[in-house]
Chain A
Amino acid sequence: MTTVVREPSRSTPPSSADQRLSHLRLLEAESIHILREVAAEFAKPVMLYSIGKDSSVMLRLAQKAFYPAPIPFPLLHIDTGFKFAEMLTFRDQTARSVGAELLVWRNEPAIAAGTNPMVLDTKRCCGLLKTQALLDALSHYGFDAALGGARRDEEKSRAKERIYSFRDTAGQWDPKNQRPELWNLFNARIHPGESIRVFPLSNWTEMDVWQYIHEEKISVVDLYFAKERPMYVRGDILLPIEQAFVARFGERPQLVKSRLRSLGCSPCTGAIRSDADSLPAIIAELLSFRSSERANRVIDHDQEGSMELKKREGYF
């Protein structure tokens, strides 16, 4: 068995006994505890790897949790077919350098049938390419636990979610009947067919994630950094030119200094105008933001409580 290849340590060693631990070290210790519990208590866990910043942090925490052994579970990417090309390149490179097994799952019948958010609405498109694909992948491989990088500060229904989120045999979440979760004693017991979604980053905020990426020098997809990119400009919305079908009749792309604040499917992820081309610049920009990170996602606000509804149906 080979040990994980890694670069020499550059982060500062944990503080001496008379110093208080910083909030990032506390969050890190908590997340590592969760990751180890999952590896120990489930028969077949998997880590959902979405290529974004949160997944990048979760992946680094998994390396730390099991060091000097390799990560003891595979990574699973749900590919909708609409991810940015740069994301897929980054995904394959990262899996190779970490030495983890990477599984990719696509809802091929739906993709072949031409499913896209223009033909369907975003809700049904997500339902087929993300939720259905995820449920199919979990049942195909027989995973009983799926680790995800979701954070409670992202959205108000997520604020109510447990770290161990129980799902019934259909992958559904019952928000009114969640298992009590006390201290760090997680109840991992399930019947055959049921599963648990586990969120080791539950207590991290967007700011924590960026600061950790900066401190730990974790590489992230270049799309997060500002640069001149061709965009369709529609009022406040900047739409990346990735899929031909998003263009409206007669619309021409313009070069805009911009970046993505969160990564999703290209037709549904708007970019923001920005000059932030480094991690400190991104953190400084984050301090000035007056909108939440999901505001540029088309999918969350088509309906009040839409995230809760999607999660009930099995979405992450």
Chain B
Amino acid sequence: MASAPLVQDSTFSIDEFLAQERGKDLLRFSTAGSVDDGKSTLIGRLLYDSQSIYDDQVRSIEGKGTTAPGQIDFALLTDGLRAEREQGITIDVAYRYFSTARRKFIIADTPGHEQYTRNMATGASTADAAVVLIDARKGVLPQSRRHAYIVSLLGVRHILVAVNKMDLIDFNPEIFRAIELEFGALLSQIGVHTGTRVEPVFVPVCALAGDNVVHRSDTMPWYSGPPLLQLLESLPSAIDTRSSGFRFPVQRVVRPDSNFRGFAGQIVSGAIRSGDTITVLPSGRSAKVTRIVTYDGDLDQAHVPLSVTLALDQELDISRGDLLVASDRPATVTRRCKAALVWMGRAPLELNRRYLLKHTSQTVPAVIAFLDHRVDLGSLEHRPVETLGMNDIGVATIELFRPIALDRYAEHRNTGAIILIDPESNSTVAAGMVTEVFTGETAMPVAGPVSAAERIARWGHRGGILTLSGPSEFIDRVERSLFVTNIVTIRCVEAEEAQWASRHGLLALLATPSETASLRARANDQEVALDSGDPAQVVASVRQLLSRAGITVPQTEAGS
């Protein structure tokens, strides 16, 4: 389906063509929008002008659309479902393919309305880049904000902003520049929020006429950059994780006979050489790679994203779900993490309900112990909430029923991604990006007539341990001050005792009195030194610490 003119050229050589094809890589990008913002027209243009649509496909929709006679209604080409064509809306993600001489492209084309946030996240999950459409007449709409936020949340760095319908504003560069300024500022704000630095490029286009889509247009001489397709061709493909730590989730143990035992999987990060030492997680045992087996022969080395089979020098107990990692750069084995969730279920999120968490090649029961906040995509503010409904985005603390090896999503897209499945309906209810991995002893929820959420709501905090060291007089004063401001601690002497209290939702105060040391406070791996000369400042710092450590809930913060 590539360019037809190649073949008409008498010098065309199939061997040269095939050689060129071998060097072609792949770029996946997502787009979002509704029918009226010109997204379908833009995609139609990319496909049509790069000669990726066949005549019979164009014939099948000619004269059926709502555009002027003689024009093709590209929306009919892209909206594949009857309900979509009948209602003139896009319901679900559609995947489209086209190819240029340099690159093969996969478009995840998603609907842009708020009720389809989950579809946008689905499309962005596998994308290397995103094309965000802005109608030049309307400027930055909530829909463009939402799309930008979601692609950034899903770890997509490259955003191409196509400012469309430039013809309807007389190709005015001032309006284009104003949009560039406004949206550019918003994108940097979003990047700070999601932790993914977004790199936008702006292009003024007129999709209907094809200006600056595939070919440069002389209608906008003030724009000196390349057309959209050329930008897509020059973006770096897939985030390069060859230099990151090796990650290999085991999919299957391969045992054709008693002479061979190998572990089949796909390298999702980094590279491996024969002879390298790997560590198996969560067991923590190590072995050397003796062979990298493929159907096409053994390899000396392999890197992301190849699917291979590894043989090791030792008979370790390894099964599906285990993660093989570079011994010097392992993942964290944990039973608790924080994750940004995009809620997709019809039923709202239920705290302390048993969900199934799928991570790489394993599925583990899990509960959402605590909901930190919901993100308001309009204002980017965090709002304290009790639950998430369909298409809501929020941050939650998840407790797992057994330990697994996790990474932060920002560092490892594959081993930091999770989905939640409802064990009764079997539907996928959430997509999650791990933002924090907690180490150390983790509380298991205790079942009973009072849920952990109710306890948190009553007490204003979840279970935790606050460690204070320093002169006992100051420790007593801090405890007293916390008490009068409604933060009730349980004084514990032994660490085990404190862990027990924490597991049951209480806030344990583990004091280490020392008359010579200065006053320090610690909670969940966070630590602060306190200036004992200013009692009011000491209490404020401890409160901040408890909030940063995720122990106190936002309501308490609001009250302070």
Contact = CB atoms under 8 A, between A and B. Distances in A.
Interface stretch (B51-59, B131-139, B513-521): B51-59
Interface string A68-87: 11100000000000000000
A245 interface: no
A182 B125 contact: yes
Q: Pick the most buried of A16, A33, A157: most chain B CB atoms within 10 A of its CB.
A: A33
A69 B256 CA distance: 4
Interface in A259-306: 280-281, 283-284, 286-292, 295, 301, 304-305
Interface stretch (B210-218, B223-231, B415-423, B539-547): B415-423
A227 interface: no
B243 to A, nearest CB: 10
Given A153-B97, A187-B358, A286 B1 contact: yes
A160 B417 contact: no
B301 interface: yes
B343 to A, nearest CB: 11
B121 to A, nearest CB: 7
Interface of B is mostly: mixed
Contact of A288 (B4, B22, B297, B421): B4
Contacts of B421: 187, 189
Contacts of B18: 211, 214, 280, 283
A149 B359 CA distance: 27
Interface stretch (A3-11, A112-120, A136-144): A3-11
A291 B82 contact: no
B305 interface: yes
A237 interface: no
Contact of A22 (B25, B81, B126, B320): B25
B122 interface: yes
Contacts of B6: 287
B266 A185 contact: no
Contacts of B414: 183-184
A152 B97 contact: yes
B4 A290 contact: yes
Given A23-B24, A32-B307, A36-B264, A182 B121 contact: yes
A300 to B, nearest CB: 10
A17 B242 contact: yes
A26 B23 CA distance: 12
B81 A160 contact: yes
A68 B251 CA distance: 15
B560 to A, nearest CB: 38
A65 B307 contact: yes
A3 to B, nearest CB: 5
Interface in B23-54: 23-26, 54
A166 B342 CA distance: 21
A202 interface: yes
Given A29-B306, A152-B97, A202-B95, A179 B296 contact: no
Contacts of A215: 22
A160 to B, nearest CB: 5
A108 interface: no
Given A70-B256, A286-B1, A156 B419 contact: no
A157 B57 CA distance: 13
B256 A1 contact: yes
A64 interface: yes
| Highest count of chain A CB atoms <10 Å: which of B80, B119, B358 | B80
A288 B21 CA distance: 16
A243 interface: no
Contact of B251 (A11, A37, A64): A37
B26 A27 contact: yes
A248 interface: no
B1 A14 contact: no
A234 interface: no
A157 B94 CA distance: 9
B7 interface: yes
A283 B2 CA distance: 11
Contact of B1 (A27, A176, A184, A206): A206
Contact of B2 (A152, A207, A301): A207
Most buried by A among B296, B305, B418: B296
A308 B302 CA distance: 41
B309 A159 contact: no
B169 interface: no
Contacts of B119: 180
B60 interface: yes
Contacts of A32: 266, 307
A205 B256 contact: no
B320 to A, nearest CB: 6
A165 interface: no
A5 to B, nearest CB: 12
B271 to A, nearest CB: 6
Contacts of A202: 95
B254 A66 contact: yes
B289 interface: no
B331 to A, nearest CB: 16
A176 B85 CA distance: 13
Contacts of A179: 427-428
A6 B257 contact: no
A182 B417 contact: yes
A65 B293 CA distance: 11
B95 A180 contact: no
Interface in B227-267: 237, 242, 251-252, 254-257, 260, 262, 264-266
A63 B256 CA distance: 13
Contact of B295 (A21, A64, A208): A64
B96 interface: yes
A122 interface: no
B106 interface: yes
Contacts of A281: 14
B17 A284 contact: yes
Contacts of A160: 80-81, 92-94
A22 B256 CA distance: 30
A39 interface: yes
B361 interface: yes
A33 B306 contact: no
B332 to A, nearest CB: 19
Contacts of B1: 205-207, 286-287, 289
A208 to B, nearest CB: 8
A92 interface: no
A176 B81 contact: yes
Interface string B295-324: 111010111011101000000000010000
B390 to A, nearest CB: 11
B4 A287 contact: yes
A17 B266 CA distance: 16
Interface of A: 1, 3, 6, 9, 11, 13-14, 16-17, 20-30, 32-33, 36-37, 39-40, 63-70, 152-153, 155-160, 175-176, 178-185, 187, 189-191, 202-203, 205-208, 211, 214-215, 280-281, 283-284, 286-292, 295, 301, 304-305, 308
6 contacts: A22-B25, A176-B91, A178-B92, A180-B431, A207-B1, A283-B17
Q: List the 8 closest pairs (A to B, CB-CB), nearest first.
A: A156-B80, A32-B307, A69-B256, A67-B295, A64-B295, A182-B125, A189-B426, A292-B54
Given A16-B301, A182-B428, A189-B356, 12 more contacts: A9-B295, A14-B294, A17-B301, A23-B103, A33-B266, A156-B78, A176-B91, A180-B121, A182-B121, A183-B414, A289-B54, A292-B57
